Amino acid sequence: MSEVTKTAFNCQHLSLLHEHPWGKDQLETITLHDNKVFEELWEKYHIDNELGTLGQDLMPSVVTCETELDLAVMAYLSNSFAVKRRDGENKNVFHLHYKLAPYKVSLAVEETDADNLKKLKNVISHLTKELKQTGVDILPESDFKSNETIKTTFERCDEMGIPYIIVLNENSLQTGIAGLRSRDTTLQVRQFFIQ
C-alpha cells in the first residue's frame, strides 16, 4: 500500500500496489475528494429561497475507487499459483479460493478391474447428477479419464485449482464409503457416504 498523497485539488490518494519480480503494479487507487468541488457546484446551481443554505458540516464527501481489473486478476492468479515439493518432485498447484474455483469437486477412481470400473462409472454418473442438482460445481464426467492413475488425476485437479476430489474404489461399491481428498492439505479422509 502506498502512502496517502495529496493532489493539487486537495484530494487524498491511496494506492494498493502489488509487487511482482519485475516491479510494482498499481492495482487500485482510492481517492477522497475535497468538498470544494461541491461548494462550487452549490454556488453555481444554487436557487435562492427554494433550496436554502447548506452548511460546511453537511457537505457530502465522495470517495472514488479506480481498479485496474486486468492487473488485479493477474495478481490474484499469480498469488494462487505455487510449486510444491511432493513425493520428491515439483508439482504445480493452483490454490484458488474455493468460492472462485470454477469446479468445487471432481471424481477419481483408484485402480480396479474392468467390471468394477463399469459399476463405478455408474456411481460417478449418479454422484455427478446429484451434486449438480444440489448446486455443487463438479468437473463434468466427460473429463473423467478411467485410464489415468490416481496420482495423475490428483496432479491434474491440483493444477486446475479444484479444492476437493471424491475418490472411489472397489470398497465403495460394498460399503458406500468414498474418500474425500483436499487439494490444500493433500489428506484423504474416508467420511463421504454414498447413498
DSSP letter string, 3-55: PPEE-TTS-EEEEEEEEETTEEEEEEEEEEE-THHHHHHHHHH--TTTS----
pLDDT mean over 14-40? 81
> What confidence score (pLDDT) does residue 165 get?
92
- Domains with residue ranges and CATH for the chain: 2-67 (no CATH), 101-193 (3.40.50.800)
> What confidence score (pLDDT) does residue 57 get?
53
Judged by average pLDDT, the poorest of 18-22, 70-74, 103-107, 136-140 is 18-22
pLDDT mean over 96-116? 84
pLDDT confidence tier of residue 49, bands split at 50, 70 and 90: very low
pLDDT mean over 115-128? 87
> What confidence score (pLDDT) does residue 17 get?
86
Asked whether residue 111 carries a pLDDT value surpassing 80, the answer given is no
Judged by average pLDDT, the poorest of 48-52, 109-113, 118-122, 188-192 is 48-52
pLDDT mean over 17-26? 82
Share of the chain above pLDDT 70, in %: 84
| Residue 79 contacts residue 40 (beta carbons within 8 Å) | no
> What confidence score (pLDDT) does residue 132 get?
92
Return d(Cα 153, Cα 124) in angstroms, integer.
Answer: 15
Nearest CA among 52, 54, 104, 97 for reference residue 76: 97
Asked whether residue 11 carries a pLDDT value surpassing 90, the answer given is no
| Residue 87 contacts residue 158 (beta carbons within 8 Å) | no
The kind and range of the H/E element at 133 are helix 114-133
> What confidence score (pLDDT) does residue 138 get?
92
| Residue 160 contacts residue 173 (beta carbons within 8 Å) | no
